[in-house]
Amino acid sequence: MTLVITDAGLTLSDKQIFQHINLTVERGEFLSIIGPSGCGKSSLLNVLAGSLLLTEGEASVDGQVISGYNGHFAYMPQEDLLFDWKTVFENITLYQTIHHLPIDNDEVMRYLDIFGLTDAADAYPEELSGGMKQRTALLRTLLVEREFLLLDEPFGALDIITRNGLQDWLKTIKDQLNRTIILVTHDIDEALYLSDRIVLMGGSPSHFISEIDLAGQNQTREWLNYQGELRNNIYTTMLAGHQKASERR
Ligand SMILES: Nc1ncnc2c1ncn2[C@@H]1O[C@H](COP(=O)(O)OP(=O)(O)OP(=O)(O)O)[C@@H](O)[C@H]1O
């Protein structure tokens, strides 16, 4: 499946959030979107998930225009809260329970194993570490079984050690997930480490400023250590976009 966004713009309450956004995402790709706070990254994910409608242009999956909630995207919002009174198993199968869909226990157990949560299946969220909670929320999103996973700052609230651990983990399992992933992050290194491609968003109204193609790179932690120039270029570009936005506010 291919996602195509063409000349997309979004105005909310008379404020133009973003404009002229063009993007094609191919099946299996890992794309990160980075940009300053408030530039509209979450809004763009909301458009794809169907909870916001574009005011200009269009987004489509395999030619089918997105015009509201649709069956292509599973969205993990910034604060994907787990229900405290439900176990890990019950939390991750919530979508199926709510929609009266069958639960494939073998499949769920297989994913619990991949996510390192087998022993926690019957635990309640308060018994989990921060990293385990995020893995649980991510697994819940994955089990919705959509082609595209939209991850909005999934590791944003975690300490650096846990965060790095989850990045390493996501990198090792991403091929097994067999999904197309769109990740929103503020963390340049996270984007460099995990992505096939990065788009930078900024300005006012916000737009895509530039794109970095990382396909074919072997992005190890050591590789990251040598990306000072690239990291600096991304940061400088983001800063320029942020300053431009501040001047217009
Ligand atoms: N329903 C709404 N009505 C009006 N303005 C909104 C609405 N939702 C979001 N906004 C505004 O849209 C802008 C973009 O918000 P959004 O959350 O998409 O940015 P972001 O880049 O994801 O920010 P962050 O990185 O801080 O999460 C912000 O200025 C926000 O206040």
Residue 22 falls inside a structural domain? yes
Regarding the beta carbon of 12 and ligand 1, being less than 6 Å apart is answered yes
Q: Which residues contact 188 (CB under 8 A, 6 or more apart)?
A: 34, 231, 234, 235
52 CA → ligand 1 middle, Å? 11
C-beta of residue 197 within 8 angstroms of C-beta of residue 210: no
Regarding the beta carbon of 37 and ligand 1, being less than 6 Å apart is answered yes
Residue 204 falls inside a structural domain? yes
Regarding the beta carbon of 16 and ligand 1, being less than 6 Å apart is answered no
CATH of the domain at 38: 3.40.50.300
User: What is the count of structural domains for the chain?
Assistant: 1
Residue 52 falls inside a structural domain? yes
Residue 201 falls inside a structural domain? yes
What does the pLDDT look like over 69-81, one tens digit per residue?
999 999 998 887 8
Comparing CA positions, the residue from 237, 221, 196, 211 lying closest to residue 30 is 196
Regarding the beta carbon of 13 and ligand 1, being less than 6 Å apart is answered yes
d(CA 101, CA 97): 6
Q: Which residues contact 22 (CB under 8 A, 6 or more apart)?
A: 5, 6, 7, 8, 208
Residue 18 falls inside a structural domain? yes
ipTM passes above 0.90: yes
What does the pLDDT look like over 78-136, one tens digit per residue?
887 899 999 999 999 999 999 999 999 999 999 999 999 999 999 999 999 988 999 99
Nearest-CA residue for atom 6 of ligand 1:
12
State which residues form the domain around 36: 1-69+180-249
Q: Which atom belonging to ligand 1 lies closest to the Cα atom of 43?
A: 18
The best mutation among 11, 32, 41 to test binding of ligand 1, ranked by most ligand atoms within 8 Å of the C-beta, falls on 41
Residue 212 falls inside a structural domain? yes
Residue 245 falls inside a structural domain? yes
151 CA → ligand 1 middle, Å? 16
d(CA 148, CA 142): 9
- What is the CA angle 72-76-79, rounded to 5? 155
pTM: 0.93
Residue 14 falls inside a structural domain? yes
